[in-house]
Amino acid sequence: MENADIFSDAIRRLGQASKIAQIDPEVLERLKYPRASLQVSIPVRMDDGSLRVFEGYRVRYDDSRGPGKGGIRFHPQVSLDEVKALAFWMTCKCAVVGIPFGGAKGGVTVNPKELSRLELERLSRSFIRQIADFIGPETDVPAPDVYTNAMIMGWMMDEYSKLRRQRMPAVITGKPIPLGGSLGRDDATGRGAYYCIKELESRRNWQPSEMRVAVQGFGNAGQHVAQLLHKDGYKVVAVSDSQGAIYQPDGFDVPSLIYMKNESRRLKAVYCDGSVCESVHAEKISNAELLELDVDLLIPAALENQITAENAEHIKAPVIIEVANGPITSEADEILGRKGALIVPDILANAGGVTVSYFEWVQNKAGYYWSLEEVHEKLHTIMVREFGNVYELMTDEQTDMRTAAYALALRRIGAAISAHGTGSYFSSDEA
């Protein structure tokens, strides 16, 4: 699918869910359009003295339930259409976990791996200067996403604070701990997905040692979910990054994989020749082959549009946990649905990240910081509760889990929009 279609594909999911949610048609109409989109150019002085201008975006999709919330990604594929889709997903995600935020997203079209550290810092600060009037602790709160991290959030918070001439940590989440970050934010996305898997485990009586797992994407979220599952005895048999994939039917020692990946910055080091690479026994496969492996759990944790009408028929995993945003297109969804696959949708499975971002925002505003145990306990409570709500709605309505999650989100967003009055209220004469 072309990137230009990603937003319309995202919106398509509302139709079916709205029937279950039984919301006012006005709510649906409102949710077809982003509230505001900002496109900026970001001039950056490069190390060699030349000037490069990058394109960046921030989209606030809906703020009926609270300030916009969502990450900023740095990636060569970033486009306005993609950022709109991602901001729409954030709107639904915040509603599914019941946190008081709307949805937003930002992005810069750049390959950050080609920039020096100083160039990356200049780009991050420059982007914030361009969008400073669009964001704020009470309007729109960014966070990390693909290829952005805590240090970048720290630079961005610092730049915003300089502009406002006061320290404003609540403008952005996912910051380094000494700069007002929350304990437990770093592994929150993976941990939230892990809590969803544990809920399925108890409902389906899984034996962890019999569960073979493939993880596509070995970035922050992919690494943490793999590590937590490995600790519980799940067999992580395949992992991949943008360079390729490795497969080991007996299961990997995930902590060593993480160590090697982060040492070399590429998973390739694990199967390359020499030194540390030789200590891991693995077959080299492609990213496409990883998706089609005969495993019990497939975890797409990379980018959107990975499972499409082209490869959906070949996917063998009976359970898919969407840790990435939008890894399955709506066409592929239908094919997988017919095959009986259970898909835990992104707006629930990866909502742990934004949930702990919410905790960070609350702590920044209160100036009072929580222990790691408190963060884990509160995250666990929310994930278990909302997983249960979605699962119950799925069973009651005899639908799939994605439709149930969207229906739950729509009910909550719809309640906030309708509280201001809709056409049916204003056109009726009753007091």
Closer residue to ligand GLU (CB): 79 or 248: 79
Q: What is the CA radius of gyration of the chain?
A: 21
Closer residue to ligand GLU (CB): 183 or 354: 354
* Number of Cβ atoms within 10 Å of the Cβ of 174: 29
Q: Residue 129 burial (CB < 10 Å; 0-12/13-18/19+)?
A: middle
Contact positions with ligand GLU (CB under 6 A) in 280-339: 325
Q: Residue 3 burial (CB < 10 Å; 0-12/13-18/19+)?
A: middle
Candidates 44-52, 312-320, 350-358, 366-374: pick the segment binding ligand GLU (CB under 6 A): 350-358
In the set 120, 245, 270, 354, which binds ligand GLU (CB under 6 A)? 354
- One-letter amino acid identity for 178? P
Give the number of residues in contact with ligand GLU, rule: CB under 6 A.
Answer: 13
In the set 220, 248, 357, 403, which binds ligand GLU (CB under 6 A)? 357
Closer residue to ligand GLU (CB): 157 or 354: 354
Closer residue to ligand GLU (CB): 189 or 240: 189
Candidates 234-242, 258-266, 352-360, 413-421: pick the segment binding ligand GLU (CB under 6 A): 352-360
Which active-site residues does the annotation give? 105
In the set 143, 302, 382, 394, which binds ligand GLU (CB under 6 A)? 143
Three-class HEC string of 373-431: HHHHHHHHHHHHHHHHHHHHHHHHHCCCHHHHHHHHHHHHHHHHHHCCCCHHHHCCCCC
Non-local CB neighbours of 250 within 8 Å, separated by 6+ positions: 235, 237
Closer residue to ligand GLU (CB): 126 or 173: 173
Residue of 331, 357, 336 lying closest to 93 (CA atoms) = 357
364 binding ligand GLU? (CB under 6 A): no
Least distance in angstroms from the C-beta of 271 to ligand GLU: 29
Contact positions with ligand GLU (CB under 6 A) in 161-200: 173-174
Three-class HEC string of 331-375: HHHHHHHHCCCEEECHHHHCCHHHHHHHHHHHHHHHCCCCCHHHH
Contact positions with ligand GLU (CB under 6 A) in 56-115: 69-71, 93
**What are the residues binding ligand GLU (CB under 6 A)?**
69-71, 93, 143, 145, 173-174, 325, 350, 353-354, 357
